[in-house]
Each structure stands twice: as structure tokens, then as C-alpha cells.
Amino acid sequence: MELIIKAVVIGIAGAVLTLVIKRTNPELSTLLTLTVCTVIVGMSLKIFSSVTEVLDLIELESDFSSAYTAPILKCVGIGITARIGSDICKDSGQEAVASGVEICGAVCALYVSLPLIKTMLRMIGELA
């Protein structure tokens, strides 16, 4: 509960500071935005270990191989990273760069999915 309050406080403080600095030094404000995002995401990673514990438990109970869940987790990570990166670029006024980041994220996500897609196609072949 305290984590979200801390994150909100840091976020609001960072946003206000960024607004102040942007008029005089836009480059520094972008860096400040990146730093604040990194700090907030870093703070949430602290409790993410509990989430991964639950995911491990689900894998154990459902007899599900980690080969299936690892691509999903990687996709989530890629999605969050790509979104933050693209939004920072958009905040800096670089829409084209933002789009490039999003497309790269999608391609990376597809890349990590390939082994699983191959496994599924092989299974369908065995069934037939």
C-alpha cells in the first residue's frame, strides 16, 4: 500500500520538476522523466518477486512447463519496456521514434514467441 503512495508522490514530483525544467532545459527534462520512470518501475519490481512466486506455484499445480510461461513473461517485460520507451519519445516530441520503438517491441515479442508456436505446430502434427 505504501509503495503506490510513494510511486504517486515521486511521479507527481518528477512531473512537476520536468515541467519547470522543460522551459529552460528540455534535454534535462527528458532525462529526468527517464530517471523517474526507472525509479518507479524499479520500486514495483521489489514486490514482483511475490508475483513470480505465485506464477511458479501455478506452474507446479498445473504441471505446466516453464518453457510455456517464460515467453509470456518475456512478452510482458518487452511490452512494458517498449511502452515506456515510446511514451518518453512522444513526450520529447519524437513520434516517429516512438513508433519505431513500438514496432521493435512487437518484433521482439514475436521473436520470443517463435519456439512456442513451433511446439504447438509440432503437437498438432502429432495429433493428426
Partner 1 sequence: MTEFASAWVRAIAGAALICAAASALTPKGKVKNVLKLLCGVVLITAMINPVINQEFPSLSMDISEYRRQADEITGSAEEKENSLSRTIIEDELEAYILDKAESLDAKLQSVEVSVKWGDEGCWYPYEVYLTADIPQMKRKLISNSIEAEMGVPDERQYWSGDEG
Buried b (16+ CB within 10 A) or exposed e, 12-51: eebeeebeebbeeeeeebbebbeebbeebeeeeeeeeeee
Rounded to a whole number of angstroms, the distance between the first and last alpha carbons of the chain is 51
- Asked if residue 76 binds partner 1 (CB under 8 A), the reply is yes
CB of 36 to partner 1, least distance (A): 17
- Asked if residue 85 binds partner 1 (CB under 8 A), the reply is no
- Asked if residue 66 binds partner 1 (CB under 8 A), the reply is no
State the residues that interact with partner 1 by CB under 8 A.
51, 55, 58-59, 61-64, 68-69, 71-73, 75-76, 78-80, 82-83, 86, 102-103, 105-106, 109-110, 113, 116-117, 119-120, 123-124, 126-127
